């Protein structure tokens, strides 16, 4: 049996490493070696957190051994910055879960109203200016379409604005997971993209999402 890559799981904004534990346990049951990388999403910017991921790997991992990277929300943007800034690492597959690759409408509203809530996570990341995905990186993207979350009030308001400006706005721009629009999760460089019936945080404990992650890490595509 081919040895599986070590999987690094990276949480999102206002979270800690423990929130990735249910997903880590599912992957461990499937034979993956996992590590939940924790970082300070409010105090430190994306460059600092990418640097700290690199430092952790230098202390705990050999560069000639491939790794897979999975990031939830802001964690997916850290992955993009990390693989662009530190090309010495052998990257197998990358996956992002509910990550706003095009920038976040919800983050924009929050930044304008109460920037302290965003900390240093907005600039160079949630504002949509994160580094482009290098051509050699294989990326799978999971988005949710269940609108339950703290950001839904902003997104409901934004949807009303869209409908007022356009009587028939694109459905893609109306569907979200409670924090991130499906459209925001799309990136042309992705190898595959799938929308699942989960909310922004709910996707981290959903067994079907975990199965899709396992499948992509092995087959470089989602199961349909």
Taking Cα atoms as reference points, which of 116, 99, 113 lies closest to residue 157? 113
pLDDT, tens digit, 9 for 90 and up, residues 28-38: 999 999 999 99
pLDDT, tens digit, 9 for 90 and up, residues 59-88: 999 988 999 999 999 999 999 999 999 999
**Angstrom distance (rounded) from CA 1 to CA 141:** 27
pLDDT, tens digit, 9 for 90 and up, residues 40-61: 999 999 999 999 999 999 999 9
143: Cβ contacts below 8 Å, ≥ 6 apart = 98, 177, 180, 182, 185, 186, 193, 194, 195, 196
Would you state the pLDDT for residue 213?
A: 98
Would you state the pLDDT for residue 131?
A: 92
Would you state the pLDDT for residue 116?
A: 87
Would you state the pLDDT for residue 2?
A: 63
| CATH match of 6-103+115-144+184-219 with 3.90.1640.10 | no
Helices and strands per DSSP (H, E), number in the chain: 7, 6
pLDDT, tens digit, 9 for 90 and up, residues 124-180: 999 999 999 999 999 999 999 998 877 777 677 667 776 777 765 566 668 889 899
User: Quick check: 60 and 33 in contact, CB under 8 A?
Assistant: no
Q: Hey, where are the domains in the chain?
A: 6-103+115-144+184-219
Would you state the pLDDT for residue 81?
A: 97
Mean pLDDT taken over the chain: 91
Position 118 confidence tier, pLDDT thresholds 50, 70, 90: confident
Taking Cα atoms as reference points, which of 141, 134, 123 lies closest to residue 183? 141
User: Quick check: 128 and 108 in contact, CB under 8 A?
Assistant: no
**Angstrom distance (rounded) from CA 19 to CA 10:** 9
């Amino acid at each position: 049996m081919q040895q599986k890559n070590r999987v690094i799981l990276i949480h999102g904004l206002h979270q800690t490493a423990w929130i990735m534990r249910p997903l880590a346990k599912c992957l461990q049951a499937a034979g993956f070696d996992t590590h939940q990388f924790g970082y300070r999403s409010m105090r430190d910017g994306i460059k600092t957190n990418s640097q700290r991921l690199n430092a952790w790997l230098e202390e705990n991992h050999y560069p000639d051994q491939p790794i897979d990277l999975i990031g939830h929300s802001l964690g997916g943007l850290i992955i993009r910055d990390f693989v662009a800034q530190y090309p010495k690492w052998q990257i197998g597959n990358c996956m992002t879960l509910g990550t706003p690759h095009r920038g976040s409408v919800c983050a924009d509203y929050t930044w304008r109203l109460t920037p302290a809530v965003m900390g240093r996570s907005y600039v160079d990341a949630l504002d949509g200016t994160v580094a482009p995905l290098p051509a050699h990186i294989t990326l799978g993207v999971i988005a949710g379409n269940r609108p339950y979350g703290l950001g839904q009030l902003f997104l409901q308001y934004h949807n009303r604005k869209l409908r007022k400006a356009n009587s028939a706005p694109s459905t893609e721009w109306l569907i979200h997971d409670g924090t991130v629009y499906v459209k925001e999760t799309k990136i042309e460089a992705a190898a595959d993209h799938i929308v699942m019936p989960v909310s922004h945080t709910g996707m981290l404990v959903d067994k079907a999402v975990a199965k899709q992650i396992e499948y992509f890490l092995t087959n470089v595509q989602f199961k349909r």
